[in-house]
């Protein structure tokens, strides 16, 4: 087992103990959302919070997707009725993400719960953290700063850009920890080489973009151990990397589900689907929030000794809605078709345009192979659900990649 200094004892508790505790917290959170967030008062009006004490019961509730948040916020500013706070001491800041989508920041210490992830990355009291995430409009800078403060770190609020000024500050202050995107850390290192400034970082916490193994190795060769995390402005921390370097461990204070894209149906471990999260935030009590991101649960527990679920990390976007012959086709329609035909184990709708004419082909894996009669029945369902005609093709079991892709738009226009 890899030696690991855990943030708290909860990280190493028995999985069934964690599951009981999370499920026991659900009724009160759902009751709070209904009572204090107008949007949930309407969405969950027929739900008895005391009955939601299992994952199965939670899975019966509707998924609220980011696109719906934007729509609701457009008609009910600032938070679309999903927040349980208004202006005042309970809402310290308000941020904007693309959409625009507005998110509250509460006054609680480590509001976004990222201290746990920074701790796993080796950040400790007394570190000087050079924070290069933006402090304007989006919450990224505040997310990292509040987490570092919770650990007892000092923060230099560098923000984005101004590479040479940042290098001058690094040379003067000698921070030992970096926070920001991996690409900007690379820029600082390369520009530092040109100017004869060797950044003093020995540890780094990166997020916001892909972090390929080759770049991690390049940082390590310079004496910088870098770790990544998966977090969003709406949820805060979702999962984080540990010294095991084996998937991302799910945060202790959320319920995470992987669901079939376009639905709220949970998928088993190993299957790629949309990340759906339920939070226990009193200020922003999002229940079954669909992030729009794809990932998959990993079996077993981390070699680092943390016992929570693990995910494979960010694997793309779940919202694969596309327009065919002027009509929108949604992943949920493909999921409906899959439910209608029990013979099908996995499907993918491929959209191409030979001779610049849109064409749909439903690629199907079917138990026992396919038949002409089954193809006709599936084609009829496809027409009924999408109002468009499409071809049906059968593939051997296992031929379609397990990547969460439901609609594959491969059209070319050159």
**Would you say 203 and 177 are in contact if contact means Cβ atoms under 8 Å apart?**
yes
> What tokens appear for 179 in the block?
């926070």
Going along 18-107, which residue ranges are E strands?
64-65, 91-97, 101-106
Burial 224-254 (b: 16+ CB within 10 A, else e): bebbbbbbbbbbbbbbbbbbbebbbbbbbeb
d(CA 338, CA 353): 24
Could you give the 3-state DSSP secondary structure of residue 186?
helix
**Would you say 127 and 177 are in contact if contact means Cβ atoms under 8 Å apart?**
yes
Number of H helices, E strands in the chain: 11, 21
d(CA 241, CA 226): 10
Q: How far apart are the first and last CA of the chain?
A: 54
Q: Which overall architecture, per CATH, does domain 1-85+246-318 show?
A: 3-Layer(aba) Sandwich (3.40)
Q: Which residue has the tokens 């005609």?
A: 389
d(CA 302, CA 6): 13
**Would you say 21 and 315 are in contact if contact means Cβ atoms under 8 Å apart?**
no
Query: So what CATH class is 322-409?
Result: alpha beta
d(CA 338, CA 378): 9
Q: Which residue has the tokens 């850009």?
A: 161
- Give Cβ neighbours of residue 351 (< 8 Å, ≥ 6 apart): 322, 324, 329, 358, 359, 360, 407, 408, 409, 410, 411
Phi, psi of 394 (to 5 degrees): -100, 140
**Would you say 186 and 218 are in contact if contact means Cβ atoms under 8 Å apart?**
yes
Q: Which residue has the tokens 């899975």?
A: 59
**CATH superfamily to which 108-233 belongs:** ANL, N-terminal domain (3.40.50.12780)
**Would you say 83 and 104 are in contact if contact means Cβ atoms under 8 Å apart?**
yes
* Residue 239 C-beta-side C-alpha neighbours within 13 Å: 28
Residue 12 burial class via C-beta count within 10 angstroms: exposed 0-12, middle 13-18, buried 19 and up = middle
Q: Give the pLDDT confidence score for residue 413 in this predicted structure.
A: 63
Kindly give the confidence (pLDDT) of every residue in the chain, 414 residues in length, as a single tens digit, with 9 standing for 90 and above.
444 589 999 999 999 999 999 999 999 999 999 999 999 999 999 999 999 999 999 999 999 988 788 889 989 999 999 999 999 989 999 998 877 889 999 999 999 999 999 999 999 999 999 999 999 999 999 999 999 999 999 999 999 989 999 999 999 999 999 999 998 999 999 999 999 999 999 999 999 888 889 999 999 999 999 999 999 999 999 999 999 999 999 999 999 999 998 889 999 999 999 999 999 999 999 999 999 889 999 999 999 999 999 999 888 777 787 878 867 788 888 989 999 999 999 999 999 988 767 899 999 999 888 899 999 999 999 999 998 999 999 999 999 999 888 999 888 865
Q: Give the pLDDT confidence score for residue 3 in this predicted structure.
A: 43
Q: Where are the domains of the chain?
A: 1-85+246-318, 108-233, 322-409
Q: Give the pLDDT confidence score for residue 67 in this predicted structure.
A: 77
- In sign, the C-alpha dihedral spanning 69, 70, 73, 79 is positive
Could you give the 3-state DSSP secondary structure of residue 222?
coil
Please determine whether the domains at 1-85+246-318 and 108-233 fall in the same fold group of CATH.
yes
Q: Give the pLDDT confidence score for residue 353 in this predicted structure.
A: 86
d(CA 206, CA 215): 11
pTM value is 0.84
d(CA 5, CA 195): 37
**Would you say 47 and 53 are in contact if contact means Cβ atoms under 8 Å apart?**
no
DSSP 306-358: --S-EE-----BS---EEETTEEE-HHHHHHHHHH-TTEEEEEEEEE-GGG--
């Amino acid at each position: 087992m890899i030696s690991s200094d855990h943030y708290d004892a909860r990280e190493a508790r028995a999985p069934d103990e964690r599951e009981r505790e999370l499920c026991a917290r659900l009724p009160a959170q759902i009751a709070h959302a209904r009572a204090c967030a107008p949007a949930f008062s309407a969405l969950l009006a027929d739900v008895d919070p005391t009955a939601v004490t299992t994952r199965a019961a939670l899975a019966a509730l509707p998924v609220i997707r980011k696109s719906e948040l934007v729509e609701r916020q457009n008609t009910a500013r600032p938070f679309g009725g999903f927040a349980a706070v208004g202006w005042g001491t309970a809402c310290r800041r308000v941020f904007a993400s693309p959409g625009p989508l507005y998110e509250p920041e509460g006054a609680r210490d480590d509001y976004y719960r990222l201290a746990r992830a920074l701790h796993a990355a080796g950040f400790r009291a007394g570190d000087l953290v050079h924070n290069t995430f933006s402090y304007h409009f989006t919450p990224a800078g505040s997310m990292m700063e509040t987490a570092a403060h919770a650990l007892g770190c000092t923060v230099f609020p560098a923000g984005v850009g101004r590479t040479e000024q940042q290098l001058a500050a690094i040379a003067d202050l000698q921070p030992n920890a970096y926070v920001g995107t991996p690409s900007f850390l690379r820029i600082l290192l390369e520009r530092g080489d040109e100017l004869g400034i060797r950044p003093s970082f020995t540890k780094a916490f990166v997020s916001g973009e892909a972090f390929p193994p080759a770049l991690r190795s390049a940082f390590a060769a310079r004496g910088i151990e870098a770790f990544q995390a998966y977090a969003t402005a709406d949820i805060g921390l979702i999962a984080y990397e540990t010294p095991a370097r084996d998937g991302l461990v799910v945060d202790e204070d959320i319920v995470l589900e992987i669901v079939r894209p376009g639905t709220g149906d949970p998928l088993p471990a190993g299957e790629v689907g949309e990340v759906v999260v339920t939070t226990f935030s009193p200020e922003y009590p999002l229940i079954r929030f669909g992030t729009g991101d794809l990932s998959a649960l990993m079996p077993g527990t981390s070699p680092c000794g943390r016992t929570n679920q693990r995910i494979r990390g960010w694997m793309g976007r779940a919202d694969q809605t596309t327009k065919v012959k002027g009509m929108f086709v949604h992943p949920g329609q493909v999921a409906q078709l899959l439910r209608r035909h029990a013979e099908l184990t996995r499907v993918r709708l491929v959209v191409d345009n030979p001779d610049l004419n849109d064409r749909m082909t439903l690629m199907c894996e079917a138990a026992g192979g396919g038949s002409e009669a089954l193809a006709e029945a599936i084609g009829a369902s496809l027409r009924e659900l999408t109002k468009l005609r499409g071809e049906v093709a059968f593939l051997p079991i296992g031929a379609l990649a397990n990547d969460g892709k439901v609609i594959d738009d491969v059209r070319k226009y050159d």
